[in-house]
Amino acid sequence: MPITHEKLLQLRPFLFHLTAAANVARILRTRGLESTASILRNAGRADLDRARRREHVHVDVAGERIELRDQAPLHAGNMALDDGWTFDDFVAHLNERGFFWPGGDAGPISYGARHYERYAVEKPAILRIATAALLAENPERPPHFCRYNSGSPRCSNGRKSPRTARTFVRGEEADFGLGSVVEVTFVGEVRLPARVELGAQPRGPWRIR
């Protein structure tokens, strides 16, 4: 059941990205979202690329401090990995991507709202970007879709949550419908369009930046 861009734009006209408030100035200046792996390489901390972050980690890139969010909910015991994969392999797999929660005018889907609640006390920032504009800005970088909260695996009825090479798939490879999509991800750096909206809560209000 392929996921087309047309379906994505119709059902999920906005994509939402949560980040530390301290990261916003760099994001807006560079008009890009870098993957964690790229940030770590540029910070000279590639040693952290395969290590689960139990708490937030701060690194410096060209004199700027960047906060990398923790991966505390990523529990190896709740994951069913591909044969030949290690937990560290999957951590590195996550770190190569930029993550967005899909949604609409009312805010991100429930997974995104719950993700915000986990960090609400820290007063993070939320970027809201029109899906059409983000896709147009990155024509050579197709989105990959995930039907789980990939960083928070859970056991269900004693069954571990699968984390495999097909955790993230392109639209034409999807064997699930758009309504099942929890995360929209991009490999590497994502260029941002001219219009980016900034808010402090999942439902806004939004300021154009």
Q: What pTM was estimated for this model as a whole? A: 0.96
Residue 35 lies inside a defined structural domain of this protein: no
Q: Average pLDDT, whole number, for the chain? A: 95
* Residue 24 maps to a domain: no
In a domain, 62, yes or no: no
Residue at 52 is within a domain: no
Please report which residue ranges of the chain form alpha helices under DSSP H: 5-11, 24-30, 36-42, 87-95, 110-119, 131-137
Q: For the chain, how many structural domains are there in total?
A: 1
pLDDT-derived band at 156, boundaries 50, 70, 90: confident
Residue 68 lies in a domain: no
Is residue 147 in some structural domain?
yes
The reported pLDDT for the residue numbered 164 is 85
* Mean pLDDT of all residues in 156-183: 92
Task: Tell me which residue of 106, 197, 99, 199 sits closest to 149, measured CA to CA.
Answer: 99
Round to whole Å and give the CA distance between 100 and 8.
Answer: 13
Q: Which domain holds residue 193?
A: 5-18+73-197
pLDDT tens by residue, 66-124: 999 999 999 999 999 989 999 999 999 999 999 999 999 999 999 999 999 999 999 99
Q: Does 91 map to a domain?
A: yes
Residue 45 in domain: no
pLDDT of residue 36: 97
